[in-house]
Structure 1
Amino acid sequence: MAAKEILVVDDEVGIRELLSEILFDEGYRVHLAENAIQARDFRNRQVPDLVLLDIWMPDTDGVSLLKEWVRQNLLTMPVIMMSGHGTIETALEATRIGAVDFLEKPIALQKLLDAVAKAIRGGEMPNNCQIPASGGRMVKLGKTNVWEVVEKFPLPLDLPLREARDHFDSLYFNYHMHKENGNITRVAQNAGLERTHLYRKLKQLDVKFVKKGLDES
């Protein structure tokens, strides 16, 4: 099986080299870009399995590049944002736009590897994958029946992307809150979010939860 390919975009050479060494040792093929120009050039040539994208860069920041890829329909791979100066608002904005996760620098080794593995697993879509459709039925997802999924998946897909994402996020977090009986710790683990980020997200989406006993493992 071919090694998964990861594009690391960061203007700090030390960060690029460190992430490259770590990911290479884990069996990934790593490509490096020091700015948005190089990242654009790489994405125009091929689609990596994952992008690790720094937010604060001198020419074009990571959030702007993420928005650009969305507008151009080039966000076809999972993107994890990174920042040593990011705020919760920035992290939430990035995930609303399309990023799958946010890592705060300095990044703990195990947290990095867990986030990378989870993002790549989430980006894989086998030809015989099944997605729940309305009414509890299953729809097989293959190259020839994607529109069947679009027609049956219970989301308002004719809305602008940001509004459609809000509907999906609400459905996603309501499902996990119900599944874990309101246990914030387990929901945060399932979603790959810090609990502080999760609280903000639930409040933003108006997902109801009872705080009493939620932190019990």
Structure 2
Amino acid sequence: MAKLLVVDDEVGIRELLSEILEDEGHDVLTAEDAGQARKLIEENPLDLILLDIWMPDTDGVTLLRELSSQHLIHCPVIMMSGHATIDTAVEATKFGAFDFLEKPISMQRLLSSVSNALAQETPADTESRQQDAETQSEPSEAKAVIYGHNGNELATIPFTLELRDARDSFEKLYLQSVLEEESYSMSKVAARTGLERTHLYRKLKQLEITLPAKEKTA
């Protein structure tokens, strides 16, 4: 049984996620804002944190950055949001977020992400690996791992890239995924991504994303 913390200002989401995760056998704590979250994180040995990005007092990315800088995060963190931009997701990953869940969150996506996060090495394993790495002549490369909706690993983006190149790589993966899910219906893709169709086509060309010969325009 793992001890999880769900941080979200919406009581309905906290209760729903808690119910689902408790049914899976986990011990779930909840916090409605950054202040409560800080207290629970400092007082409890946690195995996983699910952290909402948009909260009234302190947003989730800022909280993650603060806790990481204070070395208070000792477990995987999964970010959640229904309104986050690609830049926000990339920033959260830079500060140690394991995964990003887009609201509304499906049960399958939630459980898959939680399972993958809990399967990661423990802080003790991480410390041991870092100590071993220090004895090597070449340090391991820091990178962001991008996962698909079904929890499978899509690609990795090394932090050695310049920010613009890293953002382009993320946007390309994002648009390719949305295109496939919407069966290349450009009107649906435009609505889902919030891009005007002219801008969308320009973005696809910029990122060198090739469409099928008979793309759907409806």
TM-score > 0.5 by shorter chain: yes
Report SS of the residue matched to 1:152.
coil
What TM-score do you get using the length of structure 2 for normalisation? 0.65
Structure 2 segments unaligned to the other structure (5+ residues): 157-165, 174-207, 211-218
The number of residues matched between the two structures is 167
* Alpha-carbon offset, residue 154 of structure 1: 3.1
Question: Which residue is equivalent to 2:169?
Answer: 200
Structure 1 segments unaligned to the other structure (5+ residues): 130-140, 157-166, 174-183, 205-209, 213-217
Q: 1:31-88 deviations in whole A, cap 9, x for unaligned?
A: 0000000100011112210000000000011001000011101122100000011111
Q: Which runs of 4+ in 1 moved over 6 A?
A: none
* Alpha-carbon offset, residue 108 of structure 1: 0.8
Cα distance, 1:64–1:146 mapped onto 2, change above 3 Å: closer
Report whether the alignment pairs 1:26 with 2:10: no
How many Å separate the matches in 2 of 1:40 and 1:77? 14
Q: 1:90-130 deviations in whole A, cap 9, x for unaligned?
A: 11110111101000000011000000000111143676x9x
Report whether the alignment pairs 1:189 with 2:152: yes
Amino acid at match of 1:118: N
RMSD: 3.5
Question: Which residue is equivalent to 2:205?
Answer: none
Aligned-pair identity (%): 46
Report whether the alignment pairs 1:168 with 2:142: yes
Amino acid at match of 1:58: P
Report whether the alignment pairs 1:90 with 2:53: no
Amino acid at match of 1:169: K
Question: Which residue is equivalent to 2:131?
Answer: 147
What TM-score do you get using the length of structure 1 for normalisation? 0.65
Report SS of the residue matched to 1:122.
coil
Matches within 5 A, 1:115-130: 115-124=113-122
